[in-house]
Amino acid sequence: MFSNSRGFLKLFTLSLSLLLPTFYSVNAQDLQLLPMRVVFEGSNQVEVLNVINSGADTSTYSISFIQYRMTENGAMESITAPDSGQQFADKNIRYFPRKVRLAPGEAQAVKVQVYRASQLAPGEYRSHLYFKKEMDEAPFGTITDQADQTESEGISMQIVPVFGITIPVIIRAGAASAQVELSDLSLVRDEKGNSLLNLKLNRTGNKSVYGKLEVQHIAPTGEKTQVGLVKGVAVYTPNTARTFLLSLAQEAVTNYQAGKLLVVYRDMEGNKETVLAQAALQLESGN
């Protein structure tokens, strides 16, 4: 038993906090994944992920599934049971290998396969593959010279963070379609006075949408300037709406007190970047 109960409690609390994985985009720390999402639709039954160690050290990554819900502001929350209208994909997905060890600069293919998709009821199914970096040392720290420590000295620890990356894996069974509308456009400012565009994506249909938001400023003279671009904006089922706050180029480049902002949401899932929705915000003095 530890003689310093406060030190033990502190160690226990830190250990619990480090149990929660830290998630990044598909290019994080020393790991890269291509592609950034997997969608099984129609006759497509197999996809290959390229896992690349872009770091300076040999690393091992374990691969597993994790489940998420998307909140209305786009945050991802870990869950164990699906929300109403949500369906998980992991029971119909195989992948191999389940662990990879890569030297610096080394790449490996991970095969992802859907099975028994014909037995699924029509709809969209989604789970997320989680690539977790394994640590060579105990991730929650080590206690040094424990026998020689007094209660006043406390506990010495070495804390090593655990990193991970997740990507969505989606199965679409039966006919799938979705429509999007943009609404609630407004110009706001942050605490530094920078201009941001607030908007809402409204999704209908039985599948998720995934695309990029482009914003153009159209001056009263007709001159057009791109002032905003964000890629990889999704609205996952069963969500019907997502709010989004988009940073714009600042007033040194564009005058946001005249003209209008044209917002276009383009599909990034297919071979062609088709327009899914667009809307305009008329600008006036005082914005």
DSSP assignments along 139-159, one per residue: TT----SGGG--TTT------
Tens of pLDDT, residue by residue over 76-112, are 999 999 999 999 999 999 999 999 999 999 999 999 9
264 and 211 Cβ atoms separated by less than 8 Å: no
Q: Where are the beta strands (DSSP E) in the chain?
A: 22-24, 27-28, 31-34, 38-41, 46-53, 59-70, 76-79, 93-96, 99-102, 107-114, 123-134, 163-173, 178-189, 195-205, 209-218, 224-235, 241-247, 260-267, 275-282
Strand partners, 267: 211
Q: Are residues 131 and 80 in the same domain?
A: yes
Q: Are residues 153 and 213 in the same domain?
A: no
How much is the pLDDT for 272?
78
Q: Are residues 30 and 152 in the same domain?
A: yes
Q: Are residues 149 and 100 in the same domain?
A: yes
22-36, 80-94, 112-126, 235-249: lowest mean pLDDT where? 22-36
89 and 26 Cβ atoms separated by less than 8 Å: no
Domain ends where: 145, 173, 201? 173
Q: Are residues 117 and 251 in the same domain?
A: no
Say what the pTM is: 0.80
Domain count, the chain: 2
Question: Does the pLDDT of residue 145 top 90, yes or no?
Answer: no
Would you say residue 287 lies in a domain?
no
Question: Does the pLDDT of residue 253 top 50, yes or no?
Answer: yes
What CA–CA distances, in Å, run from 286 to 56, 217, 257, 258?
Answer: 51, 16, 6, 9
Q: Are residues 86 and 226 in the same domain?
A: no
**Full domain range(s) for residue 260:** 178-282
Would you say residue 274 lies in a domain?
yes
What DSSP designation does 161 have? -
